[in-house]
Amino acid sequence: KQIAETDLPEPIRKEVEREAARLSKVPPTSPDHQVLRTYLELVLELPWKKASEEHLNLSTVRQVLEEDHYGIKEVKERIVEHLAVLKLNPTAKAPILCLVGPPGVGKTSLGQSIARAMGRTFERFSLGGVHDEAELRGHRRTYVGALPGRIIQAIRRAGVNNPVLMLDEVDKMGRDFRGDPASALLEILDPAQNHTFRDHYLDLPFDLSKVFFITTANTLDTISQPLLDRMEVIRLQGYSEREKAEIARRYLWPRRLKEAGIEGSQAVLTDEVLNLVISRYTREAGVRQLEQMLGRLTRKVALTFADLPEGQERQPVAIQADLLGEWLGSERFMPEEARKNLPPGVATGLAWTPTGGDVLYIETTLLPGSHDLTLTGQLGDVMQESARAARSYLWSHAESMGLDISRFKRNGIHIHVPSGAIPKDGPSAGITMATALASAYEGKAVRSDTAMTGEISLSGLVLPVGGIKEKVLAAHRAGIKRIILPKANEKDLKDVPQEVRDQLTFILAERIEEVLPAAFNPDSEYGRAGNGSEPMEAADAAADI
């Protein structure tokens, strides 16, 4: 009766009727009877033709995304573009979006917002730690306790064949002797193959082409290349302190107050206190730690109210800055203040970290009587190579740059990057190392209000690097006024908030000869001449933007 009432595609109906005929011949006491019955129940529960109606109104989509998430304009625009294509051509294959970003920036909640905006059912499961491809594709029915894979189970839970299906932590899949789940995902996510996806348990072609797949990852490094090729990567950057304050005001603080059973008017959080919590107690790209800290504050307020005698009216509690030390403990992070005066041999660099940007001081000192290059501070291979390239370039061009070549011959050099317990690697310290070395050999100090980032080549070119937005925000936090960047990174400045750009001077360089005059004080030899002949004023005016 169920088979007759269910709307099944014709090839599936034939298969189901054949299995039902087998079931009628198997005695109820036989183990096969239950296996067949469970299988048929799954097939009849699956939404072969049932799809949820979607109302793709782009203004509603934009409104939902704005309500649920603050900032990330570029990400929202990319999502709206994809949905606009689906609206104009409903038969188009839905894109497979891969949201990549640090923890706590809102990747999972963005998937829920997309589903809500499209009016589709939302299902999610995590791929973190999955190392058996049968988890995705199911087990064959010959095994005892066989189950369909997670994809088919999610479709059955959703009850429609076009849900928004979120595969969380796609970068944390394992692989072992039981197979490689990343390879099994290729068929699931490939629009050219997934219209006839065969689960091992189901063993019938199920059409996954109507499913809107969204994957999330913290990094792309561990995702296999063939899998990455099938996905549209959308990067979510970390938030600036101003954005974090806005997110806390709109979403985190009201949510934490509601969880603690406190009305909004009963706990007053001033902007000054909120900014202190953000800068002194959290250092992350996302807002998860910030939410935990706000949760601690609401619990302290809740404790104050819970201690009141029965029937006494609650008075509003104003959270004071001097209470933070008692309620949240001692400050975890001291504000990154730019060093007021840099001695010769020290230059300010900018680094990218998973929790945002950071200011990095590179220290160098000459070692009389030695010829060696010593590197300390847990530097990776790329940073060590940058240091060698910087030294070799300065040595080979010492005369044209006005450096005393005899100092190279008589002295070894020691380069140290503080925070020795933290491993550091990457190419973006190249020009900082070259500037610190030039400062040490010349005995002149680098400007303390200037930071820099960029890779150096052996021919003196300044090559582009990544993470410009995070690095610029870190420099701004540290009170730095001038930033030297590779010319090729000029396009990345549009990602930096306008109010931050207005307070900084950017110097764009294509060669190391342009970096050194900008990095030293105007009264030093480098400040007076760009490469021994060109007046500094002209070079600086052309480079400053």
> Where does the pLDDT of residue 335 fall: very low under 50, low under 70, confident under 90, or very high at 90 and above?
low
For the chain, give the mean pLDDT.
86
Higher pLDDT, 526 or 219: 219
Secondary structure of residue 529 in the 3-state scheme:
strand
> What is residue 291's predicted lDDT score, i.e. its pLDDT?
92
Q: Residue type for 475, please? A: A
Considering 244, 279, 471, 524, which one is annotated as catalytic? 471
Mean pLDDT of the region 308-336: 81
Q: Among this protein's residues, is 428 annotated catalytic?
A: yes
> What is residue 525's predicted lDDT score, i.e. its pLDDT?
56
For helices 512-519 and 536-543, the axis angle rounded to 10 degrees is: 100
Higher pLDDT, 457 or 357: 457
Mean pLDDT of the region 25-53: 90
Q: Is the pLDDT of residue 293 over 50?
A: yes
> What is residue 535's predicted lDDT score, i.e. its pLDDT?
36
Region of poorest pLDDT, from 20-29, 173-182, 219-228, 258-267: 173-182
CATH of domain 346-543: 3.30.230.10
Chain-centroid distance of CA 262 in Å reads: 33
Chain-centroid distance of CA 375 in Å reads: 30
Number of Cβ within 10 Å of residue 263's Cβ equals: 10
Please give the CATH topology (third level) of the domain spanning 58-235. Answer: Rossmann fold (3.40.50)
Q: Among this protein's residues, is 24 annotated catalytic?
A: no
> What is residue 166's predicted lDDT score, i.e. its pLDDT?
93
Tens of pLDDT, residue by residue over 130-164, are 888 888 999 998 888 899 999 999 999 999 988 99
Whole-number Å distance between alpha carbons of 320 and 397: 58
> What is residue 541's predicted lDDT score, i.e. its pLDDT?
37
Mean pLDDT of the region 475-499: 88
Whole-number Å distance between alpha carbons of 179 and 200: 14
Q: Cβ neighbours of residue 144 under 8 Å, at least 6 residues apart?
A: none
> What is residue 119's predicted lDDT score, i.e. its pLDDT?
86
> What is residue 545's predicted lDDT score, i.e. its pLDDT?
39
> What is residue 199's predicted lDDT score, i.e. its pLDDT?
92
Considering 428, 439, 469, 524, which one is annotated as catalytic? 428
Q: Residue type for 27, please? A: P
Residues pairing with 31 in the sheet? none
Which option is the CATH number for 241-328: 1.10.8.60, 2.70.98.20, 1.10.940.10, 3.40.50.1820? 1.10.8.60
